[in-house]
Amino acid sequence: MTTRRDFLKTMTMASAGLAFGAGDILGAPAFASQRKVTDKVKIAYIGIGNRGEQIIGDFARTGMVEVVALCDVDMGAPHTQKVMNLYPKAKRFRDFRQMFDKAGNDFDAVAIATPDHSHFPISMLALASGKHVYVEKPLARTFYEGELLMQAALKRPNLATQVGNQGHSEANYFQFKAWMDAGIIKDVTAVTAHMNNPRRWHKWDTNIYKFPSGQQLPKDMDWDTWLGVTPYHEYNKDYHLGQWRCWYDFGMGCLGDWGAHILDTVHEFLELGLPYEITMQYANGHNDYFFPYSSTILFRFPQRKGMPPVDITWYDGLDNLPPIPAGYGVSGLDPNIPATNQGDAPAAKLNPGKIIYTKDLTFKGGTHGSTLSIIPEERAKEMADKLPEVPKSPSNHFENFLLACMGQEKTRSPFEINGVLGQVFSLGVMAQRLNTQLFFDPRTKQITNNAFANAMLTSVPPRKGWDEFYKL
């Protein structure tokens, strides 16, 4: 496998303008299926319960898919049974590797809705097998995995890739671009991003000193495949059914879960790239195993293309509301935001969103596709006749992916765009885990002030048998 030293050396070479690519992963071809995609895309779903069931419904509503295969490590459990009943003729698998081996010639695209730690091996195998890939965010859990996936996708430009931050196909995406093009959004200097809703781990004991004890494995569950590249853990219910999001070993916490829905347009259209400083400013409930109860993280981005430096400050946690500017008004909640699956906990005092500060104007916005507003209201009225017309989205996020598979559109959130934002969040998670300040060199892609954090760019080596996905 590629060592950390090899990776860091490669990153330095890449920064000097030399070629860095994922190569022909597993020796597979770098071309799409030879079958011509026409009015329907033959698709395989990997992860069919919970969030998987939701996106399968979204794809079904397009009328543009033919479901060929279903894959889930817990196939037949109550949370997967509904989708199995909807598609009784689809081939069924518990191990995605077997699905590609036995049914890979039958489908053109995959949609992946599995825990964060498994996005990388499944997506990498799909690209290496010549398949179009839709994967839920974040693209990958670690900085290195994101780098490999972006380069693998760039080597295969005929394959459509899309990361599931649906706001990239909704109103805010088109509004942000139109307002920037018209000079309404310009000279951004600071952004506040906030997600202060209850999270699954908020009631856990932060005095934890070891992982949970093993429990009886659910009937017929393929736990080894669920673990994938991560070190072995005995099964426990607090890893399964969304609980994986709580743990550093499997998920990316609140930042990885909601950051892409709040900061996606800010990051893309301001061309922020990678930060040079990531500082954990506040941590409540810090421990070595699961995410803090509350976090304040500062990301500092340098000047770019004549645009001023930008500081982004992230706030999560029930006790950690951000400063609210005068004239903010009401925090509106977009009715199109998917459910968080966090139970019936009381609503937060401030709905997820962002505040964007420029030299002349201040904007507030929500999450996903929620549009921006100028604040205070008096300033908004002054600007009303200067606002440009905002074009409507030609397709929703799922239609956009399928049309890209057919060669009719380009995806709005491909790996090479979303992947960099995911790397920003992976750096934030490292600052959370170490509860410290990190200095990062975006040119060499190395952390310069902390050797432990620098090693964490690649995470721990994958388990035996899973290192093949990282081979160049």
Q: What is the CATH number of the domain that holds 75?
A: 3.40.50.720
What local confidence, expressed as pLDDT, does residue 429 receive? Answer: 98
Helix (H) or strand (E) run with residue 461 in it:
none
Give dist(CA 244, CA 211) in Å, integer. Answer: 12
Q: pLDDT band for 471, please (50, 70, 90 cuts).
A: confident
pLDDT tens track for 348-367? 478 999 999 999 999 999 99
Distance of CA 231 to the CA centre of its chain: 22
Confidence (pTM)? 0.90
Can you read off the two tokens belonging to residue 180?
A: 């920037």
Q: What residues form DSSP beta bridges with 84?
A: none
For residue 33, pLDDT over 60 is answered with no
pLDDT tens track for 370-414? 999 999 999 999 999 999 999 999 999 999 999 999 999 999 999
* Among the listed residues 137, 139, 347, the one whose alpha carbon sits nearest the alpha carbon of residue 257: 137
Helix (H) or strand (E) run with residue 68 in it:
strand 65-71
What local confidence, expressed as pLDDT, does residue 192 receive? Answer: 98
Instruction: Indicate whether 286 belongs to any domain.
Output: no
Instruction: Indicate whether 194 belongs to any domain.
Output: no
* Among the listed residues 60, 37, 26, 19, the one whose alpha carbon sits nearest the alpha carbon of residue 159: 37
What local confidence, expressed as pLDDT, does residue 4 receive? Answer: 45
Instruction: Indicate whether 313 belongs to any domain.
Output: no
Give the mean pLDDT of 132-145. 97
Q: What residues form DSSP beta bridges with 423?
A: none
Give the mean pLDDT of 49-72. 97
Candidate from 21-25, 180-184, 217-221, 402-406 with smallest mean pLDDT: 21-25
Instruction: Indicate whether 435 belongs to any domain.
Output: no
Give the mean pLDDT of 37-44. 85
Most confident of 8-12, 326-330, 422-426: 422-426
Candidate from 312-316, 324-328, 443-447 with smallest mean pLDDT: 324-328
Can you read off the two tokens belonging to residue 94?
A: 């518990």
What local confidence, expressed as pLDDT, does residue 6 receive? Answer: 53
Handedness of CA 31, 40, 85, 343 (dihedral sign): positive
pLDDT tens track for 304-322? 999 999 999 999 999 999 9
DSSP string, 102-159: HHGGG-SEEEE---GGGHHHHHHHHHHTT-EEEEPSSS-SSHHHHHHHHHHHHT-TTS
Quote the DSSP letter at residue 370. P
pLDDT tens track for 218-272? 998 999 999 999 999 999 999 999 999 999 999 999 999 999 999 999 999 999 9
pLDDT tens track for 80-112? 999 999 999 999 999 999 999 999 999 999 999
What local confidence, expressed as pLDDT, does residue 291 receive? Answer: 98
Q: Which residue range(s) make up the domain with 53?
A: 4-168+399-414+460-470
Instruction: Indicate whether 51 belongs to any domain.
Output: yes
Q: pLDDT band for 29, please (50, 70, 90 cuts).
A: very low
Distance of CA 6 to the CA centre of its chain: 26
What local confidence, expressed as pLDDT, does residue 339 receive? Answer: 52
DSSP string, 165-184: -GGGGSHHHHHHHHHHHTTS
For residue 331, pLDDT over 50 is answered with yes
Can you read off the two tokens belonging to residue 300?
A: 């500092």
Give dist(CA 378, CA 359) in Å, integer. Answer: 17
Task: Please count the structural domains in the chain.
Answer: 1
Mean pLDDT (the chain) is: 90
pLDDT tens track for 238-252? 999 999 999 999 999
Give dist(CA 439, CA 427) in Å, integer. Answer: 10
What local confidence, expressed as pLDDT, does residue 131 receive? Answer: 98
Percent of the chain past pLDDT 90, that is, above it, reads: 86
Decide: helix, strand or coil at residue 308: coil
What local confidence, expressed as pLDDT, does residue 8 receive? Answer: 47
Instruction: Indicate whether 263 belongs to any domain.
Output: no
Percent of the chain past pLDDT 70, that is, above it, reads: 88
Instruction: Indicate whether 113 belongs to any domain.
Output: yes
Instruction: Indicate whether 179 belongs to any domain.
Output: no
The larger pLDDT score, comparing residue 40 to residue 344, is at 40
Give the mean pLDDT of 9-14. 46
Number of H helices and E strands in the chain, helices first, is: 13, 15
For residue 22, pLDDT over 80 is answered with no
Q: pLDDT band for 43, please (50, 70, 90 cuts).
A: very high
